[in-house]
Structure 1
Amino acid sequence: MSQQVHSLLPATPIPEGIHQLLTGQYSEMPIVNKSGEYCGMFSEKCCVKILSYLADLIDVKQHTSFRAADVMIPRHKLFMLNPEHDVISAISALLEKKYTGAPVVDSQGRCLGVFSERTCLGYVIEAIYSRVPSAQVQEFTDSDSNRLIDLETGLQKILSIFDETFYGRLPVIQNDEIAGQVSRRDVLKHSTILSNIMQSRLNAPHIDVGIPEVRTADYSKAHDTFLNHPVSVFTEENSYTIGPEMSLLSVAQLFFDSPHRRFPVVEAGKLIGLVDRCDVLRSAIKLFK
């Protein structure tokens, strides 16, 4: 576990919480009170809920100008895997590049699914139990077609998928081939999204995700929701905690069964560290080698 933990206070305003999450490149940040007691987790998924709530609050319709094509990372910039790629090599590559996952694409350019930290953990668990010496990426690829979107997919559909599933990335498909990818972070960091929402309905000035400026009386609801509420209002529900003595395999299984990328390590009610998926995968790779 890491003992150097960046946390938020329960009273941290939502904009500051989002700002720290994005600028610090964190997927989740623990909320800890002044006594050091763990109070919950503020995550990218919480931010998606906030953005989705704002979109509903100010009545943004499906015909909003935002499209997946506006925010996706195009294919030529993506790190992709082929289905025959060795799992250990693929996991090592993800860890080295600090990616949480990659689309799996066949020789015709068709997206077969996503190989992610979570599916990596599926391999780790099976390898430990069954002593599997090696395997191919295709055996541990999440091929759920419900995560596939196209160039014209709108903001609300994307937010709905991210909100209702544990997916952190959505492949963008055009003519049955992969055209790009949209991640939760891409959506949250694309500052024009919030400005489009506010400007199209409320004639607002440009709004940046990190430092929003909501000033006119026309959108007092959005003002109250976004600026005045603390992060504790949107704390991640069903947040898991683990103890310092939990085994590597147990932690891997818990990660596999949950949408979380980081677990707070709590002792006597107080936060003493964090373990993330990468920590588990690095340890597993060392054991396999």
Structure 2
Amino acid sequence: MAIKSFQGKRSQPQKEELKPALVSDYMTTKLITFKPDQPVSEVIESLIQNRISGGPVVNENNELLGIISEGDCIKHISESRYYNMPMDNNTVDKHMVKNVDTIDGNMNIFEAADMFLKAKHRRFPIVENGKLIGQISQKDILIAALKQKGENWK
């Protein structure tokens, strides 16, 4: 006599359709931003206090004007000391990088990783309709890759 299984019909587990990981899925949207007329000394304090290496510079309409980084601030400190000039009278707009490379939020995360390698930047802002909507960093790319775990290298 044959043994019957009482577990019922077994079906194959359905494989999920893997979607490509997009920049917009991993970008940071709560950004610390700076204003062009803000003193560089305030930026330095904010970078230290928030443990960040830089941030976007925007106007009152949240339009991206540039990026200021720790390196830009260090350059300002060095020049102030060299020329024996006070630090307080300089503003962000004099020291920020104005020609900023941006990334599209709909870009694949691995294409963005390639852009990081080519451009040697730490962060890329994401602009939509002229407005800053987020920023992606190298750490965000690493987080995305770790979540993929090699299963979805699309």
One fold, TM greater than 0.5? yes
Per-residue displacement from partner, 1:36-71 (whole Å, max 9, x unpaired)? xxxxxxxxxxxxxxxxxxxxxxxxxxxx72211010
Distance 1:129 1:151, change over 3 A: same
Read off the aligned partner of 1:112 and give its amino acid letter.
L
Give the deviation of 1:131 after TM superposition: 2.5
1:91 to 39, 44, 47: 44
The answer on 1:138 being equivalent to 2:90 is no
Report SS of the residue matched to 1:150. coil
Query: Over aligned residue pairs, what C-alpha RMSD do you find?
Result: 1.9
Query: Where in structure 1 do 4 or more consecutive aligned residues deviate above 3 Å?
Result: none
Give the deviation of 1:156 after TM superposition: 3.1
Give the deviation of 1:182 after TM superposition: 0.4
Read off the aligned partner of 2:76 and give its amino acid letter.
Y
Matched residue, 1:65: 20
Structure 1: distance between partners of 2:97 and 2:68: 6
Read off the aligned partner of 1:94 and give its amino acid letter.
L
Q: Which runs of 5+ in 2 are unaligned?
A: 1-18
Pick the structure with more helix per residue: 1
Matched residue, 1:116: 69
Structure 2: distance between partners of 1:187 and 1:201: 13
Matched residue, 1:79: 32
Structure 2: distance between partners of 1:88 and 1:135: 8
Give the deviation of 1:99 after TM superposition: 0.9
> What TM-score, normalized by structure 1, do the two folds share?
0.43
Matched residue, 2:152: 200
The structure with the largest alpha-carbon Rg is: 2
Per-residue displacement from partner, 1:202-259 (whole Å, max 9, x unpaired)? 9xxxxxxxxxxxxxxxxxxxxxxxxxxxxxxxxxxxxxxxxxxxxxxxxxxxxxxxxx
Structure 2: distance between partners of 1:82 and 1:157: 30
Matched residue, 2:124: 170
Give the deviation of 1:201 after TM superposition: 5.9
The answer on 1:156 being equivalent to 2:110 is yes
Structure 2: distance between partners of 1:201 and 1:91: 39
Report SS of the residue matched to 1:160. helix
Q: Which runs of 5+ in 1 are unaligned?
A: 1-63, 203-289
Distance 1:200 1:96, change over 3 A: closer
> What TM-score, normalized by structure 2, do the two folds share?
0.78
